[in-house]
Amino acid sequence: MKKTLGQFIRELRDKKDISLRELARKADISAPFLSDVELGRRNPSEHNLRRIAELLDADYEELKSYDSRPPIEEMKQKTAANPAYGAAFRKVVNSNLSPDELMEAINQKEQNEE
């Protein structure tokens, strides 16, 4: 099974013997944010991912290859092709669902389709 982006970052950080707090400080991001990245709860921006790669002496493109999210441009094209996505995203944001609740709803829908 392929490692996640967060797992790969942690592996690189451990190899360099850099603490999470130290890497976060040097990357000018919060330690809780970096922890969430390593745990797969959040995703770094391109800027932050480039900075993390630089600090870990890692190749940015290799690091990015572990990011399983679809590219932003692909997402923009899909939403432009179908305006209903925009309405759906707004409804999700306005619903006050937590990310965990949203994922649970999606998982339930997928199970019902099986």
- Give the structural domain span for 31: 5-64
Burial class (CB in 10 A: 0-12, 13-18, 19+), 14: exposed
Instruction: Give the CATH number, domain containing residue 39.
Output: 1.10.260.40
Confidence grade of residue 110 (pLDDT, cut at 50, 70, 90):
confident
Residue 4 has pLDDT above 70, yes or no: yes
pTM of the predicted structure, to 2 decimals: 0.63
Query: Looking at the structure, do residues 86 and 60 belong to the same domain, yes or no?
Result: no
Percent of the chain scoring above 90 in pLDDT: 46
Q: Do 20 and 60 belong to one domain?
A: yes
Q: What is the pLDDT of residues 11-53, one digit of tens each?
A: 999 999 999 999 999 999 999 999 999 998 888 988 999 999 9
Residues 56 and 88 in one domain: no
Residues 48 and 85 in one domain: no
Say yes or no: 55 and 105 in one domain. no
What mean pLDDT, rounded, does the chain reach?
88
Do 10 and 60 sit in the same domain of this protein?
Answer: yes
Give Cα 81 to chain centroid, integer Å.
24
